Amino acid sequence: MAARREKADAMRKQGGEPFPHSFEGVEAIAEVLSAHDGLADGEETESKHRVAGRLAARRGQGGAAFLDLYDRSGRIQLLAQTDHLGEEAFEAVRDLDLGDLIGVDGTAIRTKRGQLSLKLDAVTLLAKSLRPPPDKHHGLKDIETRYRRRELDLIASEDARDLFVTRAKVITAIRGFLDRDGFIEVETPVLQPLYGGAAARPFTTHHNALDRNFFLRIATELYLKRLIVGGLERVYELGKDFRNEGISPKHNPEFTMLEWYEAYSDYMVIASRLEDLVRHVAKEIEYEGEIDFESPWQRESLRDSILSRCGVDILAHRDRDSLAKEMEAKGLEVPKTDTWPQLVDELLTKHVEPELIQPTILFDYPVELSPFAKDHRSEPGLVERFEAYAAGMEISNAFSELNDPDEQRRRFESQRADAAAGDEEAQPFDEAYLRALEQGMPPTGGIGIGIDRLVMLLTGSKTIREVVLFPAMRDES
RNA sequence: GGGCCGUUAGCUCAAUUGGCAGAGCAGGGGACUCUUAAUCCCAAGGUUGUAGGUUCGAUUCCUACACGGCCCA
């Protein structure tokens, strides 16, 4: 590092600038490569190109040196010859360090060994790299460093760069799909006077001028449905939610969520659109993994999904003790939990979710688990809700939205009782939301999709930290 | 929260039973005008995560802590 600093200082003393302002007229390296695809070995052209990027490798230092330069699009070999460049410029090339950002002007040739290269006419240092790059062929393997210093990971790993490009394509494809279907993208408050729309503990923060606390949103659901009341009919929001909970391979405290709501539809319409959306996205990113998004997704009721795997009929045992007894009878471990929904969640999470590798929609949930879903049109005690799973992971949660304000009020009251009994994830009572429902909300279907998990699924990533650029970490020691 | 594993040079990794802490790459000096994990020669690079303990002697054994990973709750 000291040597690199000295080179930068020496350059300044000689009137040079190790950090110039710009370098205009750059071509993507991939374009240069494809423009000379057919060039024969040993053949030279008159074709001039200007490219810029980071220096990755260097070979030879006599009268000729080969350098590898890469940008976002690709990697190209540079040939520096003292005869052609002149002594001074060649010395400048010798002074470059791996990791330096440079701009070059060169002439396209193919070497005798068949490598398309730019024969250098001029080289400009665009930014001196004062710190050494990771190992040029082992890359950066330390997981902790890859997450804490993602820029190093991106410098060292084309796979890492590709993954985040894919993530961007996923998001672009989602927007394209929903926009074409007549949805409008909206932005609702991140700072909310009252949080809601999911079972989670919030972050709190303080607004000085108003002298009051705000919550960082845990979901966009309730505001988006107020827009449905307002007549926007088809809305979506793609943005960050925040949940003040543990960190795990599937959980980051801030994460990206897509929610959409459409008037005059229900959860089955939503299920079809979800399949179409994911199929569209997989196609756009040219997905070639193990998951089959093309065929119709498997569909099972929640009750059947548990019954077939555990032999326990949750609907035949609608209270905590009865279900616990039945689980025991089937030889299943019964956690020390207080409520029936927690036992159902245990069965689902432990015994069903890990089995759902190919995309599967589980539908018709107990009302106790779903304070914003509409009662089932034919099954008492159930609501019209589904969750979509793939690769053993929940990726989506949707319902026919509860639009009866009086029923919604009863659900909030029941949540209030749960909260009083110590449930920290119970929904707070939201009078502003009820007032909106009293204005009249059309029958509506809505959904939330975890974008980080969808990207995990589409890129075969095992942890959310692989698909979030800067995952949450403890302070370094 | 519990259990197990890891933490050694800028990066990737070694180090026998507790006995002088090593290599490759990167960086420094030198040779080399078709190399592509370039090659060759020379020199340098370390508070072994932190704090204690045991010992004549600790990267190695013990304890605590920090960070990370995996599993469990």
Count of beta carbons in the 10 Å neighbourhood of residue A470: 13
Taking CA atoms, A431 is separated from A165, A407, A408, in Å, by 42, 13, 10
Instruction: Judge if A79 and A172 occupy the same domain.
Output: no
**Banded pLDDT at A61 (limits 50, 70, 90):** confident
Round the average pLDDT of chain A to a whole number and report it.
94
Give domain status of residue A474, yes or no: no
Asked if residue A377 has pLDDT above 80, the reply is yes
- Indicate if CB(A343) is under 7 A from strand B: no
What's residue A51's pLDDT? 98
* Residue % of chain A over a pLDDT of 90: 85
Instruction: Judge if A286 and A387 occupy the same domain.
Output: yes
Instruction: Judge if A167 and A119 occupy the same domain.
Output: no
* Residue % of chain A over a pLDDT of 70: 100
Element containing residue A120 per DSSP (H, E):
strand A116-127
**Average pLDDT in the A244-256 region?**
92
Chain A residues 354 to 413 with C-beta below 7 Å from nucleic strand B: none
Beta strands in A244-403 (DSSP E): 254-263, 298-301, 360-366, 382-390, 393-400
Choosing from A133, A149, A173, the residue where a domain stops is: A133
Residue with CA nearest to B25's C1' atom: A135
Cα separation of A401 and A407, whole Å? Answer: 12
Tokens of A15: 């009137």
Distance A477 CA to B63 C1' (A): 20
Q: Going by C-beta distance under 8 Å and a sequence separation of 6 or more, which residues neighbour residue A198? A: A218, A219, A221, A241, A243, A448
Q: Do A54 and A101 form a contact (C-beta atoms < 8 A)?
A: yes
Give domain status of residue A210, yes or no: yes
What's residue A140's pLDDT? 92
Instruction: Judge if A223 and A362 occupy the same domain.
Output: yes
Choosing from A98, A133, A168, the residue where a domain stops is: A133
State the total domains in chain A. 2
**Banded pLDDT at A477 (limits 50, 70, 90):** low
Cα separation of A226 and A434, whole Å? Answer: 10
What's residue A475's pLDDT? 85
Which nucleotides of chain B have an atom under 7 angstroms from any protein CB? 10-13, 24-28, 31-39, 49-50, 66-71, 73
Distance A373 CA to B31 C1' (A): 77
What's residue A334's pLDDT? 84
Q: What are phi and psi of A141, to 5 degrees?
A: -100, -25
Helix (H, G, I), strand (E, B) or coil at A75: strand
- Nucleotide at minimal C1' distance from the A476 CA: B67
Asked if residue A336 has pLDDT above 80, the reply is no
Domain span including residue A445: 158-297+358-466
Give domain status of residue A304, yes or no: no
Asked if residue A366 has pLDDT above 80, the reply is yes
Element containing residue A275 per DSSP (H, E):
helix A267-284
Residue with CA nearest to B70's C1' atom: A249
Chain A residues 302 to 341 with C-beta below 7 Å from nucleic strand B: 333, 335
- Residues linked to residue A398 through DSSP beta bridges, in sequence order: A386, A447
What's residue A423's pLDDT? 79
**Average pLDDT in the A99-127 region?**
96
- Indicate if CB(A43) is under 7 A from strand B: no
Choosing from A82, A116, A133, the residue where a domain stops is: A133
Chain A residues 124 to 143 with C-beta below 7 Å from nucleic strand B: 131-143
Instruction: Judge if A28 and A167 occupy the same domain.
Output: no
- Indicate if CB(A467) is under 7 A from strand B: no
Q: Do A391 and A357 form a contact (C-beta atoms < 8 A)?
A: yes
* Least confidently predicted of A77-81, A198-202, A333-337: A333-337
Distance A204 CA to B9 C1' (A): 44
- Indicate if CB(A52) is under 7 A from strand B: no
Cα separation of A203 and A243, whole Å? Answer: 7
- Indicate if CB(A473) is under 7 A from strand B: yes
What's residue A309's pLDDT? 93
**Average pLDDT in the A421-427 region?**
83
Q: A342 or A227: whose pLDDT is higher? A: A227
Cα separation of A385 and A388, whole Å? Answer: 10
Sheet holding A212-216, edge to edge: A191-192, A212-216, A204-207
Instruction: Judge if A203 and A85 occupy the same domain.
Output: no
- Residues linked to residue A235 through DSSP beta bridges, in sequence order: A184, A261
**Average pLDDT in the A269-279 region?**
97
Query: What's the pLDDT tens digit per position in A319-334?
Result: 989 999 999 898 888 8
- Nucleotide at minimal C1' distance from the A115 CA: B36
Distance A359 CA to B2 C1' (A): 34
Distance A466 CA to B3 C1' (A): 26
**Average pLDDT in the A162-172 region?**
97
Q: Do A458 and A289 form a contact (C-beta atoms < 8 A)?
A: yes
Instruction: Judge if A183 and A129 occupy the same domain.
Output: no
What's residue A181's pLDDT? 97
Query: What's the pLDDT tens digit per position in A2-44?
Result: 789 999 999 999 899 999 999 999 999 999 999 999 999 999 9
Distance A20 CA to B68 C1' (A): 39
- Indicate if CB(A182) is under 7 A from strand B: no
Chain A residues 187 to 246 with C-beta below 7 Å from nucleic strand B: 246
Distance A243 CA to B3 C1' (A): 28
Instruction: Judge if A23 and A124 occupy the same domain.
Output: yes
Instruction: Judge if A238 and A282 occupy the same domain.
Output: yes
ipTM of the complex: 0.90
Instruction: Judge if A129 and A163 occupy the same domain.
Output: no
Cα separation of A105 and A50, whole Å? Answer: 5
Instruction: Judge if A126 and A198 occupy the same domain.
Output: no
- Indicate if CB(A162) is under 7 A from strand B: no
Give domain status of residue A280, yes or no: yes
Q: Residue A167: which CATH number?
A: 3.30.930.10
Cα separation of A153 and A218, whole Å? Answer: 30
- Indicate if CB(A476) is under 7 A from strand B: yes
Instruction: Judge if A163 and A109 occupy the same domain.
Output: no
Number of H helices and E strands in chain A, helices first, is 15, 16
Tokens of A18: 């190790």
Closest CA to A106 of A44, A154, A60: A44
What's residue A33's pLDDT? 97
What's residue A369's pLDDT? 82
Give domain status of residue A428, yes or no: yes
Handedness of CA A103, A109, A111, A116 (dihedral sign): positive
- Indicate if CB(A414) is under 7 A from strand B: no
Q: Do A234 and A263 form a contact (C-beta atoms < 8 A)?
A: yes
The full length of chain A comes to: 477
- Nucleotide at minimal C1' distance from the A82 CA: B33
Q: Residue A89: which CATH number?
A: 2.40.50.140
Distance A109 CA to B28 C1' (A): 33
